[in-house]
Structure 1
Amino acid sequence: MQVEFHGAAGGVTGSCHLLRAAGKVILVDCGMFQGSHELHADNAAPFGFDPAEVDFLLLTHAHLDHCGRIPLLVKRGFRGEVICTAATRDLTRLVLLDSAHLHEEEARHHHRHGEPREPLYDTMDAVDSLDRFGRVAAYGKPIRLAEGVTATVHDAGHILGSASILLELTEDDRRKRILFSGDIGPSERPLLNAPAPPSDVDAVVMETTYGDRDHRRLAASVAELQDAIADAEARGGNVIIPTFALERAQELLFFMREAMEAGALRDSLQVFLDSPMAISATRIFQRHPEAMKPEVAEMLRHGGDPFHLPELHFTRDASESMALNRIRSGAVIMAGSGMCTGGRVRHHLRHNLAHSDCSVIFVGFAAEGTLARIIVEGAKSVKLFGDHIPVRAKVHTINGFSAHAGRRDLIDWHGKVGPAKRTFLVHGEHKAMTALQDALKDKQVVVPALHSVHQL
């Protein structure tokens, strides 16, 4: 038995872990490398293994850095079965088709500038990859993959349908229980249940995104969001919220609905969800009450809508999005991407960053080098679409909305999985990974290098 690390090793993105056991090759996640610098070469590089030899791909959740290279995997020869939860399957379809469109757009942009480059994959590649999706996994119900190989998904509490994956392996009379955490959610969430990992595992592959710090309490973060929106209204400006389409957009709508019902925000507030993906994702949320907290599921099953606002506007078309740039005050505009690496939010930043009566509210993780991180760290100006834009808007950073567990929750989660003989730390920046390694110093902890191979 051996595990190989072909992504998110020594970095935050590109999750891709390979397990060889009982004569089978099992891949856990196949995500894209993301960030502000040129990553096309990294994503287009060989995987570090032959896609044709992979029997199963077990997908923890639908974020692009966990599923984004599945079409490329299929394009290069993968003919195995993809297994994930029902909600992850629906969200991944949405994410991959959107990603393919962006790769096609990027390729056209390079061609227009005399730099011929093929897209990493196109829409047909994404459609072809969806044919590889097979059985649907349910929390706590084992799936037999082969003789001596059983997989069980457990609620990771990260985004809708997210899972930690337990593999129970038997090879030459040796038995091992290997747990892949995926991304772990915090214990305090409005829509999802808390993470529920299994116990008594022999080895765990664990994310470390916030291994060096805790988030603010959720209630304090919700109050700060309300205050920041009200403050911008009082100053006569707009609010721009760079928003992740999966989970964060839905949570913010949920919080704003509650605030309006409580009178903390006026219900005539004009809110624009300017993200076709977030709009579609919201509909997928409404179709999967089984993956949500009992009280939210009950609301959905009885015809309620936890995301409804009186003056909520969905802007799918590009022309509608462009029209928002003519609004100079009183609008809350939620648009992707959350790290400002692309998408419509960059246009809204271009038109609002220079105005001191406007506000920009960051509500999620900003990876090193991304435009979001640059603004958060206090840049006086940023370059957008070839222009240098001064940063005069009021910038808020509210980290309590993170879909990732903070340091304390990560340590608690690790304690619940039992006295694992080995812990592999992945999916984190060096500082966070080192801090969590120090916290688990009484355990056998390994920080694997990219493409490294470890015997189990």
Structure 2
Amino acid sequence: MNIQFLGAAREVTGSCYLIEANGLQFLVDCGMVQGGRDAPERNRTPFDFDPKKISFVLLTHAHIDHSGLLPKLTCAGFKGPIYTTSATADLLGVMLPDSAHIQESDAERVKRRSHRGKTTASSEPIYTMADTRQCLRQVRAIGYDDMLDPHPAVRCRFRDAGHILGSAIIEVWITENGKTTKIVFSGDLGQPGRPILRDPTVIEEADFLLIESTYGNRDHKDQTSTLDELVDIVEHTRHAGGGNIIVPAFAVGRTQEILYHLHRLTCEGRLHDLMVFVDSPMATEVTRITRQHLELFDEQATKLAGWHKLGADLPYLKFTASVDESKALNLISSGAIIISASGMCDAGRIRHHLRQNLPRRECVVLITGFQAKGTLGRRLVDGARQVRLFGEDVPVRAAIHTLNGFSAHADRTALLAWADGFATPPKQTFVVHGEADTALEFAEKLRADKGWTVSVPELGSKVDLEGGRDDQQ
């Protein structure tokens, strides 16, 4: 029995793990690499395995860095089922077609601009809308906590990870040569005590554990301080500066949480006369799906009167649909809060709003989520004075504010607390889904504080789960 780390190993994106046992091969996640100049090439590179030999896929959640290459997998010959939670299955029906649409649109744009309308292999879509439709036909929805037997030698269970709607920790039991081994995949863990979603489920035992480490080297600012800072930024920008607030936000999770807080702060009288625009068709559809899964909300979110009616009865909130409506937002010079995708600023309508507002000193760009290395969002956070957008050099004069308290990922303290839930240490823990320095630091923390056997696997490394440990440090 072995596991191969094909993504999110000493990096944050591209989650993909190949498990082999009893002559069986299956995947946990099949995500896109995001950020960095080599990301497009890596996403196009053929898989390091034969997709036709994969029996099934277990998917932790819908974010593209975990699900984004599933249509490529099916196009390459994978015919098996893709098991995931019901909410994730619903979200995939929005996110994967959106990913295909972006790729097809980018390819068409390259074709129009190229000499004689020619394209190259590197400009063609990784997959098409037709590929996505086929992929979605292979998705199978599973309820939280239900036992699933995808193969006679494999049992698994999806547990609430509290990260985004439908996100899951996956427990997997594999029987080989009469012996059963339990592997736990943390997926992306949410920050406990946060509004809307429930806290991550505590897992008490595992032989082998894969734990994420996105924020494994630091803690988030507390929620009260974060909301105070949000109120200060909004009020100062609207009344003193007179500009707009541009919020790059992931369509799944982050957009809904920001809307929740703006609505709550308005109900509490801390914010007034807001003019909020959600300029993302995908975020609009995801918000609709979110309202259909109120059973997954925590008590605090359920009790907030009117939250589930967002977009229906709040006069200060508008969801834009058409391209013309999106373009019209550029005519607003002040007072607007524009929430748009993508969350790392590398695609989508947010880039148009950044081009319009970054050169203006009276405007603010509000960063509310993790920005991977190589992304436009990371360059803004790191203090770039000029960025390239649509072939133009755009000066950065707007203020860049980062509110880490809104992160959907557990911070170091929360990750360690979740690890405390194990009654006995796993035989081996693999720290994944974190930039190299962060993952290594978190691994050392687990060793020092808990005495666990921990390693940080290299990308592409394969570990025999019975014959010995991975010596990557």
1:253 aligned partner: 259
1:393 aligned partner: 398
Backbone CA RMSD of aligned residues: 1.6
How far 1:304 moved relative to its partner? 4.7
Deviations 1:273-310 (A, max 9, x none): 0001110000000001122213434669x995367632
Contact 2:181-2:207 at 8 Å conserved across structures: yes
Contact 1:299-1:306 at 8 Å conserved across structures: no
Aligned AA (1:137): I
Deviations 1:180-223 (A, max 9, x none): 11111111211001101321111011111111111101121122
2-side partners of 1:140 and 1:198: how far apart?
A: 12
Which secondary structure does the structure 2 equivalent of 1:416 belong to?
coil
Contact 2:260-2:307 at 8 Å conserved across structures: no
Which secondary structure does the structure 2 equivalent of 1:29 belong to?
strand
Count of aligned pairs:
453
Is 1:103 matched up with 2:96? no
1-side partners of 2:19 and 2:66: how far apart?
A: 16
Aligned AA (1:32): M
The runs of 5 or more residues in structure 2 that have no matched partner are 466-473
How far 1:36 moved relative to its partner? 4.2
Which secondary structure does the structure 2 equivalent of 1:337 belong to?
coil
1:162-241 alignment, distance < 5 Å: 162-234=167-239, 235-241=241-247
Is 1:443 matched up with 2:464? no
2:281 aligned partner: 276
1:12-91 alignment, distance < 5 Å: 12-91=12-91
How far 1:38 moved relative to its partner? 4.3
Which secondary structure does the structure 2 equivalent of 1:18 belong to?
strand
1-side partners of 2:342 and 2:70: how far apart?
A: 21
Contact 1:185-1:403 at 8 Å conserved across structures: yes
How far 1:148 moved relative to its partner? 2.8
How far 1:386 moved relative to its partner? 2.2
2-side partners of 1:221 and 1:375: how far apart?
A: 20
2-side partners of 1:337 and 1:247: how far apart?
A: 12
1-side partners of 2:187 and 2:307: how far apart?
A: 32
2-side partners of 1:44 and 1:392: how far apart?
A: 36
1-side partners of 2:303 and 2:132: how far apart?
A: 34
2-side partners of 1:62 and 1:256: how far apart?
A: 25
2-side partners of 1:449 and 1:113: how far apart?
A: 39
Task: Choose which of 305, 308, 313 in structure 1 pairs with 2:309.
Answer: 305
Give the structure-2-normalised TM-score: 0.93
1-side partners of 2:271 and 2:195: how far apart?
A: 18
1:360 aligned partner: 365
The runs of 5 or more residues in structure 1 that have no matched partner are none
Is 1:420 matched up with 2:429? no
Which secondary structure does the structure 2 equivalent of 1:6 belong to?
strand
Q: 1:102 to 1:306 in 2, by over 3 A?
A: closer
Q: 1:59 to 1:239 in 2, by over 3 A?
A: same
How far 1:387 moved relative to its partner? 2.2
Give the structure-1-normalised TM-score: 0.96
1-side partners of 2:20 and 2:147: how far apart?
A: 19
Deviates more, 1:158-167 or 1:381-390: 381-390
1:404 aligned partner: 409
Q: 1:309 to 1:221 in 2, by over 3 A?
A: farther
2-side partners of 1:83 and 1:32: how far apart?
A: 18
Q: Which consecutive segments of 4 or more residues in structure 1 shift more than 3 A?
A: 294-300, 306-309
